[in-house]
Structure 1
Amino acid sequence: MRSRTSFSAATAFKQGTRRRTEPNWADLAVELKKPGVTLLILCEEYREAHPEGYGYSRFCELLRGFQQRLSPTMRQEHAAGDKVFVDYSGKKIPIVDRKSGEIREAEIFVAVLGASSYTFAEATWTQTLPDWIGSHVRMFRFFQGVPRLIILDNLKSGVSRASFYDPEIKRQLRHDGLSLWRRCSSARPKRPRDKSKVENGVRFAQSCILGRLRNQTFFSLAEANAAIARALDRINDHVMRRLGVSRRQLFESVERPTLAGLPLEDHEFAEWRLARVSTDYHVEFKTFFYSVPHSLIRQQVDLRATARTIEIFHRGKRIAAHQRRYGGPRHGTDPDHMPSSHRRYAEWTPERFRRWVASIGPQTQGLVVAILASRPHPEQGFRTCLGILRLFRDIDRNRAEVVSARAAEIGSLNCKSIASLIANHKAARHSTEPTAIVDHANLRGPDYFH
């Protein structure tokens, strides 16, 4: 009984008072986040300043105990520049349309750096892939760098199949200019410790952003994001009680120098699709058609579409690039992609045919205009016009004019009908010529009737 009492007292004394000089544990917790800094290095520096201080084991035990007393967002060890945790807030921000008064709710994207808890947030209309990637681009610009890894909360915009060991990142991200897919990893479903950093950041953002902005009315996404930016300044400049420094100070001193550099140009969202080359060596994207080399007919290709360009890849190699079409002709065709026989036809135009037949006469020119106008697309009448010109090479100009006038009159607008008209005109012309009278025994002369 006596020994149990003395043990409890000793334990209370040991936990309540410490005889040896202690370092500033908050400073050491910050130092431990810097690249290359280990507990052994920190302990050696501590013993150099305080030779009578704690040994390595006790030093580690006390530092770990201090870290456990921090907020949940600081419990996990995150090296500087290593991870950023991203998620959407479950709560949305209402935005009012000035004209109709209709209220539309916007999503709130939140990102928290692992080592410093430096926080980024913005409002977007949706959680779809274009908005999701756009938020990442703006997040990296806000951080002025890129961490090694992005931890996703299994959002469907970025993750097709959640797995801690082998998450399946959406195919579009594998082509992304920022190589997002190489940096993406997902948290395990129903494992809050995997994503405690962002979940705490989301809760903090909800209270500091939505709570403080609840009485304000926003009429545009830009207005909402301007207010969110002001709320972010409050969050990042707030001094964390146990560490004695703000998130911004911790970010500037510890994390920012370790981030990878940004590309020179902002990433432009691109939509990727699989497509199969049709028999006319074109691929379709949103009702418009773009050519590829004719040798790839029936091959499967990758199509990359941005707001300005359409790029087509085959086995990882770019084989075609076109300006994206939103109106006008539905086909974008590069002459170099055509077979040589098709390339000759591509140089034809209605105006060129009119110039060709003008030398024959106005009736023939009118026939060509009628043929081109009778087709849904003028190009469909080019071959007919070529066939007619070939038929007219064997007759004189006057006959061609007569045939053309007759063809236009009766609506004979194809090669077969015009060939028939040429033959009939030839037969009729021959029948009007006088023929010689032949002497024959059975023929009675004029004297017979006298």
Structure 2
Amino acid sequence: MPATRIPMKKIIDVLRLKYEAQLSHEKIGRACGLSKGAVSKYVSLAQAKGISWPLPDGVDEARLEALLYPPREAPASRAEPDYFQIHQELKRKGVTLQLLWAEYAAVHEDRAYGYSQYCHRYRQWRDRQKRSMRQLHRAGEKAFIDYCGPTVDIVDRHSGEVRSAQIFVGVLGASSYTYAEATYTQSLPDWIASHQRMLRFFGGVPDLLVPDNLKAAVTQACRYTPTINATYAEMAAHYRTAVLPARPYKPKDKAKAEVAVQVVERWILARLRHHTFFSLAELNQAIAELLPPLNERPFQGREESRRDLFEAIDRPALKPLPQDDYVYAEWRKAKPGIDYHVEVDKRLYSVPHSLVGQTLDLRLTATTLEVLHKGRRVAAHPRHGRGRYSTLTEHMPKSHQAHRDWSPGRFLNWARDIGPCTAQVIQQQLEGRPHPEHGYRACLGLLLLGRRYDRTRLEQACERALAIRSVTYPSVASILKQGLDRQPQEADEPEAELPEHANLRGADYYH
């Protein structure tokens, strides 16, 4: 690009002072308001064109400008590249500006721009586009995920209760191909299920999933090392992709998602604002009917649509879906007690007795509970079943040697030191169970109540529990918490005799 030109009158003054006044370049610069370097530049330019002082006859300012700056070939005669097409082609893996320019030059030959001018003009076009378009998204690389701000009301047809539905939005980075659906919540189960339906809609899996920092995706937000929810990370591993959350307070990281959310709000939600929906399925049916027109609508000022770019760019680059769908599972941590069981939702599951006291990972599906130690599965149980305990024989030590310090005899001796009622309650915890160890938790809990309150009160509470025939740990703990052990027990009153009456027939009447 040519440098900014100074007025021709000033160049004439430079030539006059140079040749007529024979001043130095430094003095000419001070006289004309130019730098010493600028004076040298224009003197050299004039010399190169064979111009000195005085100027040739008939050379005015216009003629001098034509001599110093001869007109170049008009840009209109050059073959203008298709900058939008260049921008889309650069999203393909391995495609560079050098390759695209070579293909362009081979077609247009003498009318083609040089490589540097080709790159310069493309970058000028790119910088004039919207901020979100300046990000270069590779084909099949990223899917951006977010929720719309507005919700949609769903009315219960029978009760009239109104419930708000959240609008999930996913968009592929290279083609802007968009998916949307409604769920009742943004909770982890809905979040995972929406991802599965989104990937089926795309028909493949991108390299990266880019969510915002909502709780279902990120358990601990951090600009550099965010902690991904364990279930979300497991789902991503199943689909052979990875999760890269947007940085907190960095909207540019998810500009593509914000644009897609805005498009869904304007193209879908705005059209549904006058509709009344009576079920989530009804709302999702309406959204599904509006998605094809959204994706098939050409971009503003272009002939291509989201679907066109998706078919040409993103679809070939997506990884195939796995044969089996991801099975939803939640992850928790637990530490087994002295009875080598972990508790989940008020049910107890055994683990190998050698792992007592260690923190274990629990993986819970709808039907199964798995126990993992350092990434290795050490136990698996049906999630639901009869009874409160699920105990595998192989998890129990021979003669319970691992728990020789915790034996029924030790619990009974400890209880007898407190009192006979406490001993009787402890005895009942150990009896009537498949294994005595199943009662160890309750025994330990009962005896620890003697430390929290005192031994005398524990004995009185056990006495009352025996009287009311409720000898469980929760019952004894409740008696102590409410102070019922300090209140006198009501004595059983003898049954009052019925008074003599003419209407009383007596037992002989019925013989």
TM-score normalized by structure 1? 0.71
- The answer for unaligned runs of 5 or more in structure 1 is 8-12, 344-373, 384-450
Q: CA deviation at 1:191?
A: 2.4
**Alignment partner of 1:215 out of 262, 270, 274:** 274
CA contact (8 A) 1:312 1:321 kept: yes
Give, in whole Å, the separation in 2 of the partners of 1:34 and 1:3.
50
Deviation at 1:65, TM superposition (A): 2.9
Give 3-state SS (helix, strand or coil) of 1:111's partner. Answer: strand
Determine which of 285, 289, 293 is the counterpart of 1:230.
289
Aligned to 1:347: none
1:129 maps to 188
Q: Does 1:162 align with 2:221?
A: yes
CA contact (8 A) 2:236 2:243 kept: no
Task: Tell me the SS of whatever aligns to 2:163.
Answer: strand
Query: Which residue of 95, 110, 113 corresponds with 1:37?
Result: 95
For residues 196-245 of structure 1, give each alpha carbon's deviation from its aligned partner in whole angstroms, at most 9, with x where no partner exists: 11101100111111101111111111111111111211111111134421
Q: Does 1:203 align with 2:262?
A: yes
Q: What SS does the aligned partner of 2:284 have? A: helix
CA distance in structure 1 between the partners assigned to 2:298 and 2:398 by the alignment: 72
Q: 1:173 to 1:382 in 2, by over 3 A?
A: closer
Match of residue 136, structure 2, among 69, 77, 101? 77
CA distance in 1, matches of 2:201, 2:225: 29
Equivalent residue number for residue 264 of structure 1: 323
Structure having greater relative contact order (Cα 8 Å, sep ≥ 6): 1
Identify the range of structure 1 (227-236 vs 237-246) with the bigger mean alpha-carbon deviation. Answer: 237-246
User: SS where residue 147 of structure 1 aligns?
Assistant: coil
Q: For 1:164 and 1:376, how far apart are their aligned partners in 2?
A: 52
Q: Choose which of 104, 114, 130 in structure 2 pairs with 1:46.
A: 104
Contact 1:162-1:187 at 8 Å conserved across structures: no
Given residue 76 of structure 2, which amino acid in structure 1 is its aligned partner? R
CA distance in 2, matches of 1:177, 1:193: 23
In structure 2, the partner of 1:59 is: 118
Q: How many residues align?
A: 347
**3-state DSSP of counterpart to 2:119:** helix
Q: In the alignment, is the contact (CA less than 8 A) between 1:163 and 1:187 conserved in 2?
A: no
Alignment CA distance shift 1:146-1:18 (3 Å): same
Q: Choose the corresponding residue for 1:108, options 161, 167, 172.
A: 167
Counterpart secondary structure, 1:310: strand
> What residue in structure 1 maps to residue 505 of structure 2?
none
Asked if structure 1 preserves the Cα contact closer than 8 Å seen for 2:166 and 2:183, the reply is yes
Aligned residue in 2 for 1:340: 398
Instruction: Provide the residue aligned with 2:424 in structure 1.
Output: none
**Distance in 1 (alpha carbons) for counterparts of 2:435 and 2:136:** 73
Q: How far 1:18 sits from its partner (Å)?
A: 2.8
- How far off is 1:164 after superposition? 3.8
Could you list the per-position Cα deviations for residues 361-387 of structure 1 after superposition, in whole angstroms to 9, with x for gaps in the alignment? xxxxxxxxxxxxx9689734999xxxx
- Which residue does the alignment assign to 1:329? 387
CA RMSD after TM alignment = 2.9
Moved over 6 A (4+): 4-7, 374-378
Equivalent in the alignment of 1:19? 77
CA–CA distance in structure 2, aligned partners of residues 31 and 277 of structure 1: 57
| Corresponding letter in the other structure for 2:173 | G
Tell me the distance in 2 between the aligned counterparts of 1:159 and 1:247: 30
* AA of the residue aligned to 1:226: Q
- SS in structure 1 of the partner of residue 271 of structure 2: helix
How far residue 154 of structure 1 moved from its aligned partner, in angstroms, is 1.8
Q: Percent identity?
A: 47
Q: CA deviation at 1:281?
A: 1.5
Q: Which residue, 361, 379, 383 being the options, matches 2:432?
A: 379
For residue 18 of structure 1, give the secondary structure of its aligned residue in structure 2.
helix
Preserved contact between residue 207 and residue 241 of structure 2 (Cα < 8 Å): no
For 1:17 and 1:163, locate their aligned partners in 2 and report how far apart those are by CA, in whole Å. 50
Query: Structure 2: which 5+ runs fail to align?
Result: 1-5, 10-60, 66-70, 402-426, 437-511
Q: Could you tell me how far 1:178 is from its partner in structure 2?
A: 3.2
Contact 2:209/2:241, CA 8 A, preserved across alignment? no
- One-letter amino acid of the structure 1 residue matched with residue 432 of structure 2: E
Question: What SS class does the counterpart of residue 378 from structure 2 fall into?
Answer: strand
State yes or no: 1:316 paired with 2:366: no
1:48/1:277 Cα in 2 relative to 1: closer, same or farther (>3 Å)?
same
TM-score (norm. length: structure 2): 0.63
